[in-house]
Amino acid sequence: MADFRTSSHRERWIFQPHDLTERWAAANQRAAETLAQYGTTRLKVGPLDGSVHSPDHVEGSSDVKPLSYEEEQLTRVFYEQKIQEVCAAFKFPHKIQATAIIYFKRFYLQWSVMEHHPKHIMLTCVYTSCKVEENHVSAEELGKGIQQDHQIILDNEMILLKTLDFDLIVYAPYRSIEGFVDDLEVSFMYSFCTANHEVQILILLCFRSSMAFTVISKFITPSVPTSKL
């Protein structure tokens, strides 16, 4: 994997809080204007090339109110949680969950949840994440596992890729955190093994939990007495 310092993630996808607010507000305003003009906000997407077209006019929808900026935020958070639930149900690695959530966040920097249904985009993000992270699951298998039509995944794949500008390599904190935890375990074990007996007892009494015993068990394999035949 390329170095983060030279990656598109760092160059193009790191934002200040006010930049995020402006993008979300602009998408929300655009969707509200579409609703006022067409009576609906759901845009039509070309499944083959990801092209986006204005919706057909809907009669009798003048009383429909657009989502507020805050309601859109809550909707995004809700579906980010759903991504975690889907990944847990399929027992996907953490990196797939993290990549899918990053894709989802990036997509809705440009679009409103009123323009593209977040449930469809959520599933497409998980599907694309599996392919990028080399843990391939077919759209049919993913759709069947959560009782959804797999065609909605395929229909939204190209619009997702185009919105991401095909910047598919992302950097999540899991690898760094796991490495940090490993370093802590090694440091703890070194301190434990070099301490005198009284300090070792004190360490075990202070932790008094599974942590100390779990760490120690990783490094010490109990000897099993053998008998000669």
In order, the DSSP letters of 166-195 are: T------SHHHHHHHHHHHHHHHHHHHHHS
Residues 7, 169: contact at Cβ < 8 Å? Answer: yes
Q: Which residues, including other chains, have CB under 8 Å from residue 149's CB and lie 6 or more apart?
A: 143
Structural domain including 16 reads 4-163
Structure tokens at 38: 């067409």
Co-location of 27 and 135 in the same domain:
yes
Mean pLDDT of the chain: 83
The residue with tokens 């008998």 is 227
In a domain, 229, yes or no: no
Its pTM surpasses 0.85: no
Provide the domain count of the chain: 2
In a domain, 120, yes or no: yes
Co-location of 157 and 184 in the same domain:
no
Q: Is the dihedral of CA 210, 212, 216, 218 positive or negative?
A: positive
Q: Cβ–Cβ contacts within 10 Å for residue 126, how many?
A: 26
Co-location of 98 and 202 in the same domain:
no
Return the CATH number at 125: 1.10.472.10
CB-based burial label for 73 (10 Å; 0-12, 13-18, 19+): middle
| pLDDT tens readout for residues 69-89 | 999 999 999 999 999 999 999
- Band (pLDDT 50/70/90 cuts) for residue 5 is confident
Q: CA-CA distance, 45 to 70, in Å (whole number)? A: 26
The kind and range of the H/E element at 45 are strand 44-45
Residues 87, 98: contact at Cβ < 8 Å? Answer: no
| pLDDT tens readout for residues 110-166 | 999 999 999 999 999 999 999 998 888 899 999 888 888 999 999 999 999 999 999
The kind and range of the H/E element at 82 are helix 69-89
Average of pLDDT values for 57-76? 87
More confident residue, 34 or 173: 34
Co-location of 104 and 191 in the same domain:
no
In a domain, 67, yes or no: yes
pLDDT of amino acid 146: 86
In a domain, 154, yes or no: yes
In a domain, 155, yes or no: yes
- Band (pLDDT 50/70/90 cuts) for residue 229 is very low
Co-location of 16 and 116 in the same domain:
yes
Co-location of 51 and 76 in the same domain:
yes
Q: Which residues, including other chains, have CB under 8 Å from residue 222's CB and lie 6 or more apart?
A: none
Co-location of 181 and 116 in the same domain:
no
Instruction: Please give the single-letter amino acid code of residue 176.
Output: S
